[in-house]
Amino acid sequence: EEELPDGLDESCSQEEDEDSDSDASSVAGVSSSGSVALVSRNCIECLAQPAEAQEKVLKPALVCSLFPNVPPTIYFSTRDERVEKLPWEQRKLLRWKMCTVTPNIVKQTVGRSHFRVSKKSNDWLGCWGHHMKSPSFRAIREHQKLNHFPGSFQIGRKDRLWRNLLKMQARCGKKEFNFFPQSFILPQDIKLLRKAWEEGPSRQKWIVKPPASARGIGIQVIHKWSQLPKRRPLLVQRYLHKPYLIGGKKFDLRIYVYVTCYDPLRVYLFKDGLVRFASCKYSSSMKSLSNKFVHLTNYSVNKKNTEYKSNSDETACQGHKWALKALWSYLTQKGVNSEAIWEKIKDIVIKTIIASEPYVNSLVKMYVRRPYCCHELFGFDIMLDENLKPWILEVNISPSLHSSSPLDVSIKGQMIRDLLNLAGFVLPSTDSVASRPQTRSGSTCSMGSALKEKPKPASEHFIAEKMKKAYYLTQKIPDQDFYSSVLDILTPDDVRILVETEDEYSRRGQFERVFPTHISMRYLRFFEQPRYFNILVTQWELKYYLNKHKGLELLKNWCIKGYHTGAGMDLAQ
């Protein structure tokens, strides 16, 4: 964390005119219309807009809520859609803060919704930038959204991820959290590693990784103690030496995981992703260990191999990069139950996010003005072993959105568009943008009455709300019979959370929500401490997942009647 930028101004430039890494290889300026103008240095052809001959569908600029008295959200379109322009008074609020790491695909998506580059440091609505030190999150205002949570490096760094999963194993049992290869962090674990090494078989392999690097940098596979690098810190991990092979080659899966909120926890998985192949056939021979094209699946490593074959067809099982959906089709044809693998992947993703939950929630409460201000896309790298068991290799907190082929553009473009719709960007009032930033307790956001963060209820309602929360948190071990009554009488705070959760779900696009669902009760025992809103949304899903319409009608009714009286709504009947 010490190496993170101190704040947004340090990590972001007003316009993209500096040298940038592979995720931001574009030139951005402001066109005559004021929208973000983009020229890609790498792949103008494959990122080109659809031919003019093809009539684009006109879409409204705002998406209405399912509920009355709740503000609409900004619509983000696909490349074959055109978004209507809002009146100037509203359109001038559409400002995006550009950073040196803002990916082209994000710039293009926000540009289509008529966002312009923010010229000032504090009048923006959205930013896709670096992670920063936790105290810097204080600078994010109530109407702004940054694509990170404070503390998410607790799973984004390989050493922290292992430590946190180890903690979960100790608390909840190894069986539930045995999906990350046994690891040792050097120098602290050197004696434990020596012991494991000596007790292991003679021809064992270990993979050595720097704890905070990416793109395959500094990774090597070793089989002798003398090959252990001297540099520290270092993560030494048992090598998955019997991977599932296709065409004799190793591969891993890049799964896109999106978290919109940590309290209540809301986790989504994008239904498509990438399958990255090693560019040489796998060999278990010790002589092959130095060949990265055999043992590493990173695209940034394998693209350097002259044998590397790209793939531009998202339905084809060819080349060294496939779409995730193409893999599922391939495995299904081979008689494999790919749906069962997907279910296992969802399970280990939820457990990994829960491992970061106590850290993130405590830092959000300390440094973030309101939950709206943060959201995060994670890139989970997963490998299947010979028995098709999924193993998490690492979690990326800034997954590459660089799009060097039509396959990348298609998958990442759709994913980012759906993600930004799911994020639920709300137009603030002109006053709140113009006003000076307030303290954490102040609220300048023009949210509709049903979504205000803290309504000002009569004190007895406020006390009743607090008492209800305290009552349901008395049970330390999740108990369905005890929790089921949480929906009998809803408080204004309950409705605010449920409205937010249902509205968000309706904008999910090709994302699948994996938490909360009707089976989420089984995960509540993994949380370090129970959270009232997790209990609430889990019970809501359990009660209404087969009859969504009934649940929505009850909430709509409450938004019309209950909120303005400040009274709870009795749903017991």
Identity of the residue numbered 475: Q
CB distance 319 to 309 below 8 Å: yes
251 phi and psi, to 5 degrees?
A: -155, 160
Question: How would DSSP label each residue in 133-184?
Answer: -GGGGGGS-TT-EES--TTTHHHHSHHHHHHHHHHHHHHH-GGGG--S--EE
pLDDT of residue 33: 40
Instruction: From 115, 137, 16, 8, select the one nearest 425 (Cα to Cα).
Output: 115
Is residue 229 a contact partner of residue 208, using CB atoms and an 8 Å limit? yes
> What are the domain boundaries of the chain?
462-565
286 contacts: CB under 8 Å, gap ≥ 6? 203, 223
Structure tokens at 211: 């704890």
Low-confidence ranges of the chain (pLDDT < 70): 1-54, 214-216, 431-458, 562-573
Q: pLDDT for 502-534, tens place per residue? A: 999 999 999 999 999 999 999 999 999 999 999
The pLDDT value recorded for residue 455 is 52
What is the DSSP pairing of strand 206-209 with strand 36-40?
A: unpaired
Whether the CB-CB separation of 373 and 242 falls below 8 Å is answered with no
pLDDT at 56: 87
Rounded-to-integer distance, Cα 218 and Cα 207, Å: 10
CA distance 489 to 367: 32
3-state secondary structure 369-389: CCHHHECEEEEEEEEEECCCC
- At residue 190, the pLDDT reads 93
**Predicted pLDDT of residue 284:** 83
Question: What does the CA dihedral 522, 528, 533, 536 come to, rounded to 10 degrees?
Answer: 30
Query: What pLDDT is attached to residue 509?
Result: 97
Tokens of 306: 């002259």
Contact between 358 and 529 (Cβ < 8 Å): yes
Could you count the other beta carbons within 10 Å of the beta carbon of residue 6?
12
Model pTM score = 0.88
